[in-house]
Amino acid sequence: MTMADAAPERHYAPDPSLLERWAARFLRKHNARQQLPKRPRQPREIEALRRVRRRAVGWAMLAGILSGGIIGGMEWFMRQGMLDGMQDMTLMEQMPYWIGFFAVAGVVSTVEILFLYWNALRGVASISRIAEAPLHGDSHPGLILRGLARVALEFPSPRHRIYGIDPYAYMAGWKLTLMAVMYRMKVGVSTFVLRVLVRRVLGRVALRGVLPLITGPLYAAWNAIITWRILNKAWEQALGPYAIDAWMDHLEARRQPLGANARHALLHAVGEMLMRNQDAHPNHVYLLSRLMPLAGAAERHLEVDWPRHRLTLARLSAEEQRLVLDTLLLATVVSGKPSGARMNFLMEAHIACAKPYPIQRVRAWRERFLKGQSLVAQAGGRP
């Protein structure tokens, strides 16, 4: 394997699409940082991130109100003003109405969708800049860039192996296909389909007279949800590298008590979490890229064998177990709200060590992470 192939961005997304490359150029244009951050975020910077998110959501809602008002008002005008209600018209006589409605709705929705993508890209670029996430350079900056470009475009994670690990090993094929379809519907198709469904439902009830007043808020709420999700994911990905780097410095300083068995158990545990999560989250890929050298996995390829290393985990010293479990806790909080398969796996690892599940620490770590703080305490290195 060449050095280029070993770079983490090559493992995450080796062949970015034309849209991804365009989004990456946009993000780089608005964020010139090249170095990974070495300090936690200040409260004023976290507040700035919140303002970026609020502003992007606000613009998305305004776009929904405008497009909803235009589409709803256009329907009301064509139905009542131009076609006198359409009560006595045959299907063929209604055809010009349908052609006109879908043409106008399609144009308005297309303009709105393009604006939503631009609005999301601008928000993601601002978040990356405030979080000091580097987007220029190969290796780790390249991984961060590709992850942020994909989240801004609402693309799903790549469908290939990460360091030899299949992130979707535990996912049924039909579910993987359905998930891919749903991802593509989130911003584009779903936005247009929503408009058609709302028109059909409200067009059959007494509320059709106030259609412009109803559709605007509905579209605004839909846009707000989508934009909020995009920027939340970008927030996590932009803050992830600092939290992971600070933690890896913590592990490197404790390399001596962390024996070879513990390092390999740790690597396989994180690889198993990647598969349990059923998603190649960029922060997990970043963490794996940092753990590989620590575990001596120079070939950058891992055949995860969690059942065997789960038994190894139970035989480690108390200090080794603590470091492994805390690293899994880190992997849990940097890849989304702790829930589902990741929480279950973290609980499984604690059971293997005969330790209680640290619910309060999970919440505390998640809160600190989202505030751009290190998860290593200043005194004694205890998170």
Please state the φ and ψ torsions of residue 177, each to the nearest 5 degrees: -65, -45
Q: Which phi and psi (to 5°) does residue 82 adopt?
A: -90, -35
Domain residue limits, the chain: 3-163+172-238, 240-370
CB 87 within 8 A of CB 94: no
* Residue 331, pLDDT score: 95
Distance from C-alpha of 361 to C-alpha of 350, rounded to nearest angstrom: 13
User: How far is the C-alpha of 365 from the C-alpha of 287, rounded, in Å?
Assistant: 16
C-alpha dihedral (3, 258, 284, 144), degrees to nearest 10: -50
Q: Cβ distance 258 to 265 under 8 Å?
A: no
Instruction: Report yes or no: 168 and 276 within 8 Å, Cβ to Cβ.
Output: no
> How confident is the model at residue 378, as a pLDDT?
39
Residues in contact with 326: Cβ distance below 8 Å, sequence separation at least 6, in sequence order:
383
Place of tokens 């513990």: 262
Q: What tokens appear for 319 in the block?
A: 């200090």
Q: Which of 86, 84, 105, 104 is nearest to 95 (CA)?
A: 86
**pLDDT tens, N- to C-terminus, the chain (383 residues):** 444 446 788 888 888 889 999 999 999 999 998 888 889 999 999 999 999 999 999 999 999 888 888 877 777 776 666 555 556 666 676 677 777 777 888 888 889 989 999 999 999 999 999 999 999 977 789 999 999 999 999 888 887 888 888 888 877 665 656 555 555 554 444 455 555 555 555 554 444 455 556 667 878 888 999 999 999 999 999 999 999 999 999 888 876 678 888 989 999 999 999 999 988 899 999 999 999 887 776 557 788 899 999 999 999 999 999 999 999 999 999 999 998 899 999 999 999 999 999 999 999 999 999 999 999 863 344 44
pLDDT for res 108: 86
Widest Cα–Cα separation across the chain: 85
**Which amino acid does the sequence have at 166?**
D
